[in-house]
Amino acid sequence: MGCCCCCSSGDRVLPSADSQNEYEKFEKLLAEEVGPNNPHGWQIKSDWAKDYNKQKFKMRVSLRKHESGNPNKLLRGDGKYQGVSPEDFLGFLLNPENLPGLKEWKDVETLPDGYIKYCRVKVPCMTARDHCWKYTIDRRPDGSIFVCIRTTTHPECPEKPGVIRAYYYNSCLFKMSETEEGIMEMTEFIFQDLKGGLPPSLLNAALPAGTLETNKTEMKHLLTKKAEA
């Protein structure tokens, strides 16, 4: 994108903490209908493909307005993947080896149910962004794995001059399909505010294609690692 995000567009409303645990919040989102004329405002931006692509996955990507009033939209991704497991995807989330523009990655603290991690990224024509993330990991009795990544604060992760502290939320559930042998299913919800001068409309327009490309890159990485093992 041909812009430099070094100016401020003002503070926008961000999701606030409440008493629900992360899995309960995910279940509430998961129960929302996505189909035509749904009451939640979901719009399907990329529907299911008929067949699995060369990277052995297919996805449906949908967007709706976020209840906070923030102009950045909430994304729902539903995916089906061949030849990988929930543990494979968890391993990638904990150590994303090929994250575009990654400049710094640090394990900050181990928690009873997850981790605190720090990362800093820099892509061309944009001011660097950094994140302080809390990972919540729940291995469910049915063999599925629920993961939530949410922006948090930590004394070892102070904001840095010249780097924009972005907001990010990702909750996802990975499970093996009950109807398709060898297929892993995933549903994820992503909300982010990169802040700075980047117009939310640009991010919203890029989200569906960006999500598909991210999954393409991730599956290529995972399948290559499994073939080399």
Does residue 13 lie in a domain region?
no
Does residue 221 lie in a domain region?
no
Query: Which residues contact residue 209 at a Cβ distance below 8 angstroms, ignoring those fewer than 6 apart?
Result: 46
Does residue 175 lie in a domain region?
yes
pLDDT of residue 96: 84
Given a contact cutoff of 8 angstroms between Cβ atoms, the answer to whether 9 and 193 are in contact is: no
pTM score: 0.91
* Domain that residue 47 falls in: 23-205
* Residue numbers of the chain with a pLDDT score lower than 50: 1-10
Read off the CATH number of the domain in which 123 is found. Answer: 3.30.530.20
Task: Give me the DSSP letters along 6-49.
Answer: -S-----------SS-HHHHHHHHHTS--STT-TT--EEEEPPP
Given a contact cutoff of 8 angstroms between Cβ atoms, the answer to whether 205 and 71 are in contact is: no
Does residue 16 lie in a domain region?
no
Beta carbons within 10 angstroms of residue 165's beta carbon: 15
pLDDT of residue 14: 79
Domains in the chain, number:
1
Does residue 216 lie in a domain region?
no
Does residue 11 lie in a domain region?
no
What whole-number distance in Å separates Cα of residue 166 and Cα of residue 31? 28
